[in-house]
Structure 1
Amino acid sequence: MNGWLLAAGVTAFGVAAVHVVAGGRDVVRPLLSCGLADEPRRVLHAVWHMVSVDLVLSAAALVLLALTEDTSATGPMAWFVAAHFLAYAVVFLVVTLAVGWTRPLLRLPQWMLLLPVAVLTVAGVA
């Protein structure tokens, strides 16, 4: 068993749970009740659910990779998941820093949840 990948998977499941619970309350509910036209509002709602599925499947993949005995198959998928979470973190950082808010890193703190998954995953395959 690979402890680093297991830690990454458990952390990723935590990220998914935060996304579903806090995102549902702080993002989806206001989105669905805002004055945005129906079609773009529903597309954004669907994208939020797609990210939910993506986070859960990525977490499951990391746990399965952690438990696999065939380490030759672990590397490429683990690197893909690491890049995936790193890209999500970078997107949040770029969007947050581009707005010009005061204390921007705390306004959209999602990057703080996503980056550890990438780091733990890299530690598990490096």
Structure 2
Amino acid sequence: MNGWFLTAGITAAGVAAIHIIAGGRDVVRPLLAGDVPAEPRRVLHAVWHMVSVDLALAAAALIWLSLADRPGGDAMAWLIAAHFVAYSAAFLVVTLAAGWSKPLLRLPQWMLLLPVAVSAAAGAV
């Protein structure tokens, strides 16, 4: 068993759950109730669901990788790690570009995403 992959998978599952529960309440409901035109609103709603699926599948893949030595598992883990680094970077860039005070805490999603990347990479080394 690869403990790093298991840690990454459990963390990613937690991130997915937070995304689905808190994101649904704090982001999706206000978005759907807002004044954004129907087409972009529905596209953003679909993208939110796509990210939900993406996070859940990444968690499942990492947990699956943790259970046994899988051919090509390290390559998959590096891809997932890069994926979560990219998500973290996107949140950091958007947050820092907004010019908010205490920007790193305003959109803290990067703090949840980056540990998945680090754990997945550690397991692949």
Whichever residue aligns with residue 63 of structure 1, its letter is I
Write the deviation string for residues 33-88 of structure 1: whole angstroms up to 9, x where unpaired. Answer: 00110000000000000000000000000000111233x42111000000000000
Write the deviation string for residues 62-115 of structure 1: whole angstroms up to 9, x where unpaired. Answer: 000111233x42111000000000000000000000010000000000000000
TM-score by length of 2: 0.98
CA-atom RMSD in angstroms: 0.7
Tell me what 1:80 maps to.
79
Q: Does 1:125 align with 2:124?
A: yes
Rounded to whole Å, the distance in 2 between the matches of 1:36 and 1:14 is: 30
Whichever residue aligns with residue 32 of structure 2, its letter is L
Whichever residue aligns with residue 8 of structure 2, its letter is A
Matches within 5 A, 1:107-118: 107-118=106-117
Rounded to whole Å, the distance in 2 between the matches of 1:125 and 1:50 is: 26
5+ long unaligned stretches in structure 1: none
Whichever residue aligns with residue 56 of structure 1, its letter is A
Identity %: 68
Whichever residue aligns with residue 6 of structure 1, its letter is L
Give the match's secondary structure for 2:15: helix
Whichever residue aligns with residue 101 of structure 2, its letter is T
Rounded to whole Å, the distance in 1 between the matches of 2:20 and 2:32 is: 15
Give the match's secondary structure for 2:54: helix
Rounded to whole Å, the distance in 2 between the matches of 1:76 and 1:124 is: 11
| Moved beyond 4 Å, runs of 4+ | none
5+ long unaligned stretches in structure 2: none
Rounded to whole Å, the distance in 1 between the matches of 2:110 and 2:85 is: 9
Tell me what 1:14 maps to.
14
How many residues end up aligned between the 2 structures? Answer: 125
Q: Does 1:58 align with 2:58?
A: yes
